[in-house]
Structure 1
Amino acid sequence: MSVARAERLVNLVLCLLSTRQYLSADRIRGIVPGYADAPSDDAFFRTFERDKTELRELGIPLEVGRNSAFDTVDGYRIARRDYELGDIDLEPDEAAAVALAVRLWDSPELTGAAHGALLKLRAAGVDVDQAAPAVVESKVRTSEPAFGPLLAAVQAGQAVSFDYRRPSPAELRSRTLEPWGVVSWRGRWYVVGHDRDRGAPRCFRLSRVVGEVRKIGKPGQVRRPENIDLLRFVATTGGEPRQSSTVRLWVAAGRGAGLRRRATVVERRDVDGEAGDVLELEVNFPDTAAGWIAGYGADVLVLEPDVLAKSVRERLIAVAEGTS
């Protein structure tokens, strides 16, 4: 189902659920976003018939009737008594999954059209049930401007580029991403995908996206891998799947006791005339390891991999510039 059709069906359900009156097809055409674009009456009625069939196949109780004996055509509505579910008992993990799914409802991109339909209902003199929007309304906010464009890019399967503000060191960098999904973790929104600049999966916090999100290439070119759990991906402190790797460090003699307890000494080596040891250490998240390795200052030098060495060096430079 296309995104436009799905949004039109949701708007239709909200419209018919929010009124106690029967609405004719013509009134629905003027109220529900998505129908006004029909090029002709025949095109509208064909679309409306398909949508009614779709709703019935989904199990939504669509009522047909007339408000009075003076009405000449049938109208439609959804009775809340038949639509609403009874009490449901969910396990904690099931409740968490449902809560995460409904967070999208409070985004301006997904609710603006629905609220517009309700305003048109009231303006047309239709008796609107004030409690109806509460059936689907969520209380979670998505205020980041990048949310809408990134979600649209995910749905379209299209790559994007954007400027991203890194916290340490503080700088603005351009990123090119093949987005797989937008997820919420601990009150923050992230986009997950393949970072073309790094050639690896990465996640980016939406609140750090600066300026416009720019589309790249044609829609349909980006596909999400089947074996990736986006929420688990974001939950890992390194922002990428848990994957053990070996790093090689030089540690000054008599220093870095905490590192030495976790590592294996493979050789003795002098660096710039200072004695020390080369250690091999297994880490699960190299990006996170950069933070605590940098805490040892000049006593530790990262030999491999280059990405970790660069990350530690950037942190040390940021500290030096902040104290100068």
Structure 2
Amino acid sequence: MSVARAERLVNLVLCLLSTRQYLSAERIREIVPGYGDAPSDEAFFRMFERDKTELRELGVPLEVGRQSGAEMTDGYRIARRDYELGDIDLEPDEAAAVALAVRLWDSPELTGAANGALIKLRAAGVDVDQSSAAAVEPKVRTTESAFAPLLAAVQDRQAVTFDYRRPSPAELRRRTIEPWGVVSWRGRWYVVGHDRDRRAPRCFRLSRIVGEVEPIGEPGVVQAPEKVDLLGFVAHTGGEPTSSSMARIWVARGKATGVRRRAKVIGSRAVAGIPGDEVELELLYPESAANWLAGFGPDVLVLEPDVLRKSVHERLLAVVGG
């Protein structure tokens, strides 16, 4: 389906869902963006019939009727009682998938057309149900400023360049990538693509991108590998350590009692001349563990896994920088 047609269908659903009136085909042609471009009446009616068929096949219930006995033609609307879903019980993995999907709806690129359609409806004198917008516009925030330009680059198949902050060693480096997709993993957004400098696939956390994301080269040149598993790639290379993993940690002697209480001492070890113990700790929630371990400051040093060590180091750098 073309982008223009998809936007027209969204506008049509918003129009018919937001009004309490039956709207005739001619009225819909006047107020729904996309139909005004039809070169003739015949072309419009063909377009409108295709769109109605498409919506019905998608399960959108179109209600046909007349506003009053004086009306000579049928009109259309969508009754919210038929459109809205009832209560649904989701398994945890299903709920996570739904939450990930609706994140995209909060980007300005995807909600701008919908908001514009509602404004046009009100300006045209249509009685708009103010609460209907909530039925089609979920709210899950994406705070990273790099999200929108990277998503646009993926859609345009265009390479980008940006400054990327590495936590260890702490430095800022320029990256140039051919983006394949933007995915969320354990509450964080990542862009996956081909790193031109390293000549290999890489993923980058959006929260570590500094400044502007700049498109380079011509659109349409980036080609993602067939059947590439973006989420799997991030999980194995750029995500947080998996649940119920073992960490090896150094703890200063006589310090960090909270860590010692949950850990198993496996030997003595000095770090930078400071005596301490090497311990093993089972991590059920790695993300919260990184925050917890960073709270012990210099009394705790993560030895393994490397991704947890970097996460704790990044938090300590943020405290020093703040």
Q: Contact 2:153 / 2:215 at 8 angstroms: preserved in 1? A: no
TM-score between the two structures when normalised by the length of structure 2:
0.67
Distance in 1 separating the partners of 2:28 and 2:216: 34
Q: Contact 2:153 / 2:160 at 8 angstroms: preserved in 1? A: no
The equivalent of 2:195 in structure 1 is 195
Distance in 2 separating the partners of 1:153 and 1:56: 33
Q: Deviations over 1:102-160 (max 9, x none)?
A: 1111111111111111122222221212221221322212344433332233234x132
Matched, 1:11 2:18: no
- Between 37-46 and 13-22, report the one with greater CA deviation: 37-46
Listed as ranges, the matches of 1:262-301 within 5 Å are 288=307
Could you tell me how far 1:81 is from its partner in structure 2? 1.5
The equivalent of 2:117 in structure 1 is 117
Q: Contact 2:19 / 2:129 at 8 angstroms: preserved in 1? A: yes
- Note the aligned Cα RMSD (angstroms): 3.7
Provide closer, same or farther for how the CA distance between residues 290 and 8 of structure 1 changes in structure 2, counting only shifts above 3 A: same
The equivalent of 2:56 in structure 1 is 56
Distance in 2 separating the partners of 1:21 and 1:291: 58
The equivalent of 1:248 in structure 2 is none
Distance in 1 separating the partners of 2:307 and 2:113: 42
Q: Deviations over 1:218-272 (max 9, x none)?
A: 42742344141x3343345645999xxxxxxxxxxx98899x99xxxxxxxxxxx
The equivalent of 1:279 in structure 2 is none
Distance in 2 separating the partners of 1:88 and 1:289: 36
The equivalent of 2:248 in structure 1 is none
Distance in 2 separating the partners of 1:134 and 1:127: 17
Q: Deviations over 1:259-291 (max 9, x none)?
A: x99xxxxxxxxxxxxxxxxxxxxx998x84995
Matched, 1:211 2:238: no
The equivalent of 1:2 in structure 2 is 2
SS of 2:86's equivalent in the other structure is coil
The equivalent of 1:65 in structure 2 is 65
The equivalent of 1:81 in structure 2 is 81
Q: Contact 2:158 / 2:217 at 8 angstroms: preserved in 1? A: yes
SS of 2:35's equivalent in the other structure is coil
Listed as ranges, the matches of 1:130-149 within 5 Å are 130-149=130-149
Identical columns (%): 70
SS of 2:130's equivalent in the other structure is coil
- Which residues of structure 2 form unaligned runs of 5+? 243-268, 280-302
The equivalent of 2:293 in structure 1 is none
Q: Deviations over 1:287-320 (max 9, x none)?
A: 849959xx9xxxxxxxxxxxxxxxxxxx9xxx9x
Matched, 1:150 2:157: no
Provide closer, same or farther for how the CA distance between residues 90 and 177 of structure 1 changes in structure 2, counting only shifts above 3 A: same
Letter in 1 for 2:223: V
Provide closer, same or farther for how the CA distance between residues 166 and 39 of structure 1 changes in structure 2, counting only shifts above 3 A: farther
Distance in 1 separating the partners of 2:72 and 2:201: 60
TM-score between the two structures when normalised by the length of structure 1:
0.67
Provide closer, same or farther for how the CA distance between residues 33 and 198 of structure 1 changes in structure 2, counting only shifts above 3 A: farther
Distance in 2 separating the partners of 1:215 and 1:21: 49
Q: Contact 1:105 / 1:136 at 8 angstroms: preserved in 2? A: no
Letter in 2 for 1:7: E
Provide closer, same or farther for how the CA distance between residues 115 and 235 of structure 1 changes in structure 2, counting only shifts above 3 A: same
The equivalent of 1:159 in structure 2 is 158
Provide closer, same or farther for how the CA distance between residues 241 and 131 of structure 1 changes in structure 2, counting only shifts above 3 A: same
Letter in 2 for 1:86: G
Provide closer, same or farther for how the CA distance between residues 153 and 50 of structure 1 changes in structure 2, counting only shifts above 3 A: farther
Distance in 1 separating the partners of 2:206 and 2:186: 13
Could you tell me how far 1:96 is from its partner in structure 2? 1.3
Q: Contact 1:175 / 1:195 at 8 angstroms: preserved in 2? A: yes
SS of 1:161's equivalent in the other structure is strand
Q: Contact 1:17 / 1:132 at 8 angstroms: preserved in 2? A: yes
- Which residues of structure 1 form unaligned runs of 5+? 243-253, 262-282, 296-314
Q: Contact 2:161 / 2:175 at 8 angstroms: preserved in 1? A: yes
